[in-house]
Amino acid sequence: MHRHARLSLLATTLVAGVFAFWGGWTRRWMSDDGLIVLRTVRNLLAGNGPVFNVGERVEANTSTLWQYLITAVAWVTDARLEDIATWLALTFTVVAAASATHATGRYWQLSAQQTVAVIPFGVIIYLALPPARDFATSGLEWGLALLWFAVWWALLVTWATPARRAIPSVGYFLAFWCGLSWLVRPELALYGGVTGIVLIATSFRKTPGILLAALPVPAAYQIFRMGYYGLITPHTAVAKSASDSEWSQGLSYLWNFAGFYWLYLPVAAALITGVVLVGGARGRRLAIVLLTTGCALAHVLYVLRVGGDFMHGRMLLLPLFALLLPVMAVPLTRVTAAITAAIVVWAGVIVVHSNPTDEHAYQYEDQELNIVDERDFWTTALGREPGDAPMYAEDFLAMPMMRGWDQELPEARENNAAQIAIGIDYDDGEQFRWYPRERFEGPSDLQDLPLTAYWINLGMTSMNAPLDVRILDTVGLSTPLAARMPRMEDGRIGHDKQLSQEWQVADSAVDLDDLPDWFDIETAKEARAALRSEEIAELLATSREPMSWERFKANFRYSLGKGRTLSLDDDPSVYLDPATVREIRDGRDPGKDLSPRIAWPVD
C-alpha cells in the first residue's frame, strides 16, 4: 500500500475518532433510564444477583452485557457508577467510530485495482446528528452496541479479503462475535443470525466449528434467563409489548427524526454513492455489503413496526449506523470529494441548528408527552441551564416530583412503613411531596414485602434509595404486574401501560382501610385478593419464590408458555368468583389471606 494511501486511512480514522469524542464529550449526560441500569449494578456489587429489587428476579435492562461490563469496571475502581457508565459508553463510541471507519477504508483500498486514498464520509453523517452525540453517553448501552457493529463489520471485511491476505480463523471469531449480539441487544441477533447463516452457507464443512464458536455463550445465558427470570426475553420487551404492531406511530417516529434534520438527503447520497462504488464488487466483498444493508433496512422496519420510541431518534441510531458502515469512508475522487463537501456543509448546519427542542423551554406540565429529546427535556425539567445536563443521581432530586424524597424516605424506613407514595400538598401551593403509608396489623406473607415506592421515572427513585427499599414503576420495566396490563390506546410508546393505584397498594402491606379518599377501597381489596388467583400467583412466584432447582425448572417451562403470552385485565374482579367479590364488599379483609403464597422473606 502506498504511503499516501496509508496516511489517508490513518487521517480518516483519526477524524472519526476525534469527532466522536468531541461530540460525545460536549453533550455528555446521564439519563433517568441510564440510572435504571445502575440499580442492577448496585445489586450485583452487593451480592444480590442481577435483579432490580432484592427478592424479586426481574431483568429490568435490555442489554445483558452492558450491566456486567459496568459491574466489572466497578469491581476494580472506586469511581462513581455514573462516571463509569459515562466514560465506558463514550470510549466505546469513539472506538466504534474509528474502527468502523478504518475497516471501511481498508475495504475500499483492498478492493481497488490500485491503491487509493480514502476520506471520511458516512461517519460524518452519523456523528452530526444530536441524538447520536447524546447517546454516546446517557448511561445506556448505545456505545456498546456501536462497538459490536464496528467489530462485526471489521471481521466481515477481513473475512471477505482474498484468502492469501486474510486470517484463516476469522470465520470462527466472526461466529463468536455474532453469538454475542443477543446479549448486547436482542434485536442485534438479526445481524448475528443472518451472518451465521451466511458463514454456514459459504463454508458448510465448517458448520460444527461455527456453531461451537457462536452458540455456547448466548445459549448458556438464555438457559439461565429462562430458569432464573421465567422469560425468553428481557423483561423490558414484555413491558413494551415488543411483539405488537404500531406502524402509524412508527412512521411518525421516523419522520420526527429524519424530517427535522433533512436526513433523507445525506442518506440518499450515501446510498447512491455506495451503489456506484460497489458496482464492480463480486463474491464475498459484494455479499457483506448486501448483508449489512439488508439487515439494517430490516432493523428499520422492525423499529417502525413496534412504533419507535418515546426518545427522539434513539431507536433509529443503531440501524442508521449499520446502514452507513459500507460508506463510513470512501475512495477519494472528484465526485466523492464534492459530495463529501456538501455533507460537511449539511453537518455544520445540523450541529449549529441542533435538536428539535433546544430552541425553546419544554413545557412538560402543559402538553402531552409523545416523542421528546430526552437530554433537553431533563435539563429543562430539572431547572438547569441549557447545556448543563444532569450527570448524577442526586441531580434528579431537583425534579418537582422528587420534592421531599430524601427527607421522607429515611423516616419511612425507620418507621417500617409499607409504602411511600407521591401526592399533592395543598397546604403548600399544590406542591408534590412524598407521604408514608402505614402497614396493616396481623400476620400475612405481605408483611415480608419491604418499604415500597412506585413512580414512573424508575431511575431517579431507585438510585436515590437504599437497596432495601423496593422501587417499582407503573409502566412495567421492573414490575411484572404492570408489564402485563393492557396497552392504552394512543399511549406513549414504551410508556403505554399503567398499573392503577389500587393494584399498587394491593401488592404491599398497606392498610387498605386507611387510604385517602381518592382510592376505590373495594377495588383495592379485590386486587389484593386477585393476587392470589392461580394465574397471578403463578406469575408472582416466577420472580419471588426463592430460587431452587424445582423453581428453576418451573420458570423454564413458564417462559415457554405463559411467560410469552400472559396478559392481565386491569379489572381485578374478573379473577374472583362472585362470592368472594360479595365478601369483600361486605368488609372481608383479603390482606390476611395466606394461600397461595405471593411474598417471601427478603434476606
User: Residue 33 carries which side chain, given as an amino acid letter?
Assistant: D
Mind listing the pLDDT tens digit for each residue in 59-75?
999 999 999 999 999 99
Mind listing the pLDDT tens digit for each residue in 551-580?
999 999 999 999 999 999 999 999 998 888
pLDDT band at 357 (very low <50, low <70, confident <90, very high): low
Calculate ∠ Cα 342-347-353, nearest 5°: 130
How many Å apart are CA 332 and CA 277, to the nearest integer? 11
The segment with the largest mean pLDDT, out of 165-179, 312-326, 357-371, 511-525, is 312-326
Higher pLDDT, 71 or 590: 71
How many Å apart are CA 34 and CA 82, to the nearest integer? 8
Q: Give CA separation, 310 vs 196, 217, 249, 298, 315, in Å.
A: 32, 32, 10, 21, 9
Considering only the C-alpha atoms of the chain, give the largest distance between any 2 of them, rounded to a whole number of Å.
Answer: 89
C-alpha cell belonging to residue 437 = 403509608
pLDDT band at 592 (very low <50, low <70, confident <90, very high): low
How many Å apart are CA 304 and CA 289, to the nearest integer? 23
CB neighbours of residue 456 within 10 Å:
16
Percent pLDDT > 90 in the chain is 75
Q: Are 93 and 8 in contact (CB under 8 A)?
A: no
CB neighbours of residue 286 within 10 Å:
15
Mind listing the pLDDT tens digit for each residue in 2-46?
777 889 999 999 999 999 999 999 999 999 999 999 999 999 999
pLDDT band at 363 (very low <50, low <70, confident <90, very high): very low
Closest by CA position to 43, among listed 34, 35, 53, 33: 53
C-alpha cell belonging to residue 580 = 368472594
Beta-carbon contacts of residue 427 (< 8 Å; ≥ 6 apart): none
Is the pLDDT at 227 greater than 80? The verdict is yes
Query: What ranges do the domains of the chain cover?
Result: 3-30+61-353, 399-592
Higher pLDDT, 356 or 516: 516
DSSP state of 494: T
Q: Give CA separation, 160 vs 26, 122, 330, 421, in Å.
A: 37, 21, 17, 59
C-alpha cell belonging to residue 295 = 439487515
Mind listing the pLDDT tens digit for each residue in 476-531?
999 999 999 998 776 666 677 899 999 999 999 999 988 988 899 999 999 999 99
Looking only at the bridges linking them, the beta strands covering 452-454 and 470-472 are: parallel
Closest by CA position to 461, among listed 49, 30, 35: 35
Strand, coil or helix: 271: helix
pLDDT of residue 282: 85
Q: Are 510 and 438 in contact (CB under 8 A)?
A: yes
Looking only at the bridges linking them, the beta strands covering 419-425 and 329-331 are: unpaired
Is the pLDDT at 590 greater than 70? The verdict is no
Q: Are 483 and 235 in contact (CB under 8 A)?
A: yes
Which conformational region is residue 361 in: left (phi greater than 0), alpha (psi within -120 to 50 degrees), or beta? Answer: beta
How many Å apart are CA 125 and CA 324, to the nearest integer? 9
Q: What is the pTM of this model?
A: 0.94
DSSP state of 134: H
pLDDT band at 366 (very low <50, low <70, confident <90, very high): very low
List the beta strands (DSSP E) in 74-200: 118-120
pLDDT of residue 307: 87
Region 251-260 average pLDDT = 91
pLDDT of residue 364: 37
Q: Which of 87-101, 108-122, 406-420 is the least confident region?
A: 108-122
Q: Are 24 and 129 in contact (CB under 8 A)?
A: no
Higher pLDDT, 362 or 464: 464
Q: Are 129 and 263 in contact (CB under 8 A)?
A: yes
Q: Are 389 and 410 in contact (CB under 8 A)?
A: no
Is the pLDDT at 344 greater than 90? The verdict is yes
Closest by CA position to 193, among listed 291, 323, 66: 291
Q: Are 497 and 476 in contact (CB under 8 A)?
A: yes
How many Å apart are CA 385 and CA 354, to the nearest integer? 16
How many Å apart are CA 354 and CA 480, to the nearest integer? 38
Mind listing the pLDDT tens digit for each residue in 204-213?
889 999 999 9
Residue 65: φ, ψ to 5°: -65, -35
Cell numbers 406542591: residue: 431
H or E segment at 322?
helix 314-324
Burial of 209 (0-12, 13-18, 19+ CB in 10 A): middle
Is the pLDDT at 263 greater than 60? The verdict is yes
How many Å apart are CA 307 and CA 251, to the nearest integer? 7
Q: Are 94 and 24 in contact (CB under 8 A)?
A: yes
User: Residue 452 carries which side chain, given as an amino acid letter?
Assistant: T
How many Å apart are CA 191 and CA 172, to the nearest integer? 16
C-alpha cell belonging to residue 201 = 452457507
Q: Are 227 and 557 in contact (CB under 8 A)?
A: no
Beta-carbon contacts of residue 575 (< 8 Å; ≥ 6 apart): 529, 530, 533, 535, 536, 569
Report the chain's mean pLDDT, rounded to a whole number. 91
Region 167-177 average pLDDT = 88
CB neighbours of residue 551 within 10 Å:
18
pLDDT of residue 163: 63
C-alpha cell belonging to residue 168 = 484463516
Region 316-323 average pLDDT = 98
How many Å apart are CA 320 and CA 100, to the nearest integer? 13
User: Residue 123 carries which side chain, given as an amino acid letter?
Assistant: V
Higher pLDDT, 166 or 445: 445
Strand, coil or helix: 433: strand
pLDDT of residue 496: 79
